[in-house]
């Protein structure tokens, strides 16, 4: 059950980017579980990947192939091809070769991505059989089908489409993502694929993506678990009539801001679809000494099972939030300077419960579906926001039954 209204938007086609899906029957035979994304030859591509030491075989292959002017992305759901050793690497490389043979390209220009169960061999034969169907289905309008094909425990497809204007010319930015559990991207089981028709070189595109990811996907957490397969890709077909975007220009800043907005919305969709989620919480840390300190405090609160279960129960047990702030590891924190609010209700000030706080006021806020926790540390000017969700009975059920 998603938190709030999460309708898939009308996605504008992007010249030079096409998507095709098929059902390979990797884990189930009901829906499409294979996605191919094709880029025209002049396109540039950037990507960031998980920092999990046990990163999946497709992550290793995609990292290596990113330097070879990628033309195709190959994504499967239902199997992560992670924790599969040398055989997993062979399988990931084999799928790239199989795709390249069909389209008449080079295997090192294919970026593979997988999501699903860890520790099981990738069914490469099933993927090979389904590849022609996905390739024959390539179209610039298949964004909805693509978003659905990469889903695992997601309850809805996640997409964002945005148009900006540079020098009188329209530039379109589309993005899809998947993820609902094992979510605490530390990138540098969430995947995101973003495409635009802007003209921009690969190095500048990489800079743009890294900055956007840091302020979006790296600011969310469902359960504190960094997946073996996290990846985010930004493709630029270069087919817009707008002039090429240059570094340190006003056009670059407008473009980077738009990519950031797309990434932030995709990241929010992931939290709204957190496994078993019934509430969305924004943890806003202000007056921190620096950004790192603000993120540390925000994620300590967001990762606390005690905090997350209290929100699920709509229990204004504010002591759990106080305890999380206290154990975050902030050096020389002056307790009397700390203030904690639940939406408009102050719960902590001057080192303890706020004198005006009442249980009824706290309960009124906790009954809401979306809640903002604001922590003022009184130590500086840094501000950061972390998005998270609650822990419900369904979170345990979904993950206990994930392989059944």
Q: Which residues are catalytic?
A: 189
Axis-axis angle for helices 57-65, 85-103 (nearest 10): 50
- The residues with which 48 forms a beta bridge, in sequence order, are 232
Residue with tokens 């059920």: 397
CA nearest to 376, candidates 326, 324, 336, 338? 338
Joined together, the tokens standing for residue 332 give: 């020389």
Joined together, the tokens standing for residue 220 give: 């969310």
Q: In what order do the strands lie in the sheet with 17-22?
A: 17-22, 34-39, 72-79, 110-117
Beta strands 34-39; 17-22: pairing state = antiparallel
The sign of the CA dihedral 86, 87, 88, 93 is: positive
CA nearest to 110, candidates 76, 65, 78, 145? 65
Round to whole Å and give the CA distance between 276 and 216.
22
- Which residues, at least 6 apart from 139, have a Cβ–Cβ distance to it below 8 Å? 18, 19, 20
């Amino acid at each position: 059950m998603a938190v709030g209204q999460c309708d898939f938007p009308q996605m504008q086609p992007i010249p030079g980017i096409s998507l095709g899906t098929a059902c390979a029957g990797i884990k189930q035979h009901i829906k499409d579980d294979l996605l191919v994304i094709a880029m025209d030859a002049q396109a540039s591509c950037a990507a960031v990947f998980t920092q999990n030491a046990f990163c999946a075989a497709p992550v290793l292959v995609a990292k290596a192939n990113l330097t070879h002017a990628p033309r195709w992305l190959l994504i499967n759901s239902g199997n992560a091809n992670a924790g599969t050793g040398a055989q997993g690497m062979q399988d990931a490389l084999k799928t790239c070769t199989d795709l390249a043979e069909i389209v008449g390209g080079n295997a090192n220009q294919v970026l593979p991505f997988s999501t699903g169960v860890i520790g099981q061999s990738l069914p490469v034969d099933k993927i090979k059989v389904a590849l022609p169907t996905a390739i024959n289905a390539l179209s610039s309008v298949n964004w909805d089908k693509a978003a659905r094909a990469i889903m695992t425990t997601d309850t809805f497809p996640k997409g964002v489409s945005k148009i900006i204007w540079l020098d009188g010319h329209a530039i379109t930015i589309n993005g899809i993502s998947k993820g609902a559990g094992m979510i605490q991207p530390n990138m540098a089981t969430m995947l995101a694929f973003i495409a635009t028709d802007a003209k921009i070189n690969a190095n500048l595109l990489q800079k743009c993506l890294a900055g956007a990811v840091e302020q979006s996907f790296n600011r969310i957490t469902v359960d504190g678990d960094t997946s073996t397969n996290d990846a985010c890709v930004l493709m630029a077909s270069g087919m817009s009539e707008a002039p090429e975007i240059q570094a340190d220009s006003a056009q670059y800043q407008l473009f980077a801001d738009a990519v950031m907005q797309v990434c932030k919305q995709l990241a929010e969709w992931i939290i709204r679809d957190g496994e078993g989620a019934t509430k969305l919480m924004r943890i806003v840390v202000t007056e921190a000494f620096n950004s790192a300190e603000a993120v540390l405090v925000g994620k300590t609160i967001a990762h606390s099972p005690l905090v997350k279960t209290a929100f699920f129960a709509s229990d204004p047990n504010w002591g759990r939030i106080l305890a999380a702030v206290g154990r975050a590891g902030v050096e020389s924190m002056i307790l009397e300077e700390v203030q904690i609010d639940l939406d408009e209700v102050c719960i902590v000030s001057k080192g303890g419960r706020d004198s005006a706080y009442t249980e009824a006021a706290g309960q009124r806020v906790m009954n809401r579906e979306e809640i903002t926790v604001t922590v003022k540390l009184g130590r500086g000017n840094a501000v950061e926001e972390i998005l998270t969700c609650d822990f419900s009975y369904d979170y345990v059920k979904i993950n206990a039954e994930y392989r059944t």
